[in-house]
Amino acid sequence: MSMAERTHLTALIAICLLVDEACTKEPPAPVSTIAKSEHASAANPAALSPVGTTQTVLQKTFNLKGSATFPFEIPAHAVQPHLHGIFQSFASHVHGESDDTANIDLLILTQEQQADSASSRGSEALFSVEASHSQAVNFDLPPSFDQPVKYYLVFRNSGGGKAGKVVEASFRVDF
């Protein structure tokens, strides 16, 4: 056997031994669920994900003269937040007349849109329902990535505040 063949054979045996050693090592012990949540960081966003959870945004009956605003927050790392709910409005009292005289508007606003609306600068809404007294809402919100995002449910009296209305609303977000 030549010197070159011996060198190649020695190198091949060394590689085989290293591969064998790597394949027979014990795998690291799995990290417990508690340890994962305690050590969650920006480097491991999956550990912070709210996927599979639900958050109640609004479950209330309230009087509406002009407008009513209900803020809610989507936590960081929400990949596909989905807002859904229903509202019904009544002309004078709960379960009273619920026809066109009870119509209201519903807006879903971002924080920037809410600031524009509050300062009387015209603003578009992320989502809106106009002049309705009974509505089901199903709306996919944008992902929140690595920061929580604030939104606002805004109910407005379509009649411009002429006559007060009563609203029953139930909204939640699934992640």
Q: What is the pLDDT of residue 92?
A: 80
CA torsion sign for 133, 164, 130, 69 is: negative
Average pLDDT, the chain: 81
Q: How far apart are CA 131 and CA 105, in angstroms?
A: 5
Neighbours of 71 (CB within 10 A): 13
Residues of the chain with pLDDT under 70: 1-49, 122, 160-162
Q: What is the pLDDT of residue 163?
A: 79
Q: What is the pTM of this model?
A: 0.69
Tens-place pLDDT, residues 12-60: 565 655 556 555 555 555 443 433 444 444 455 445 667 778 999 999 9
Q: What is the pLDDT of residue 98?
A: 80
Residue by residue, DSSP assigns 46-114 as: GGG--TT-EEEEEEEEEEESSEEEEEEEEPTT-SS-EEEEEEEEESSSTTS--SGGG-EEEEEEEHHHH
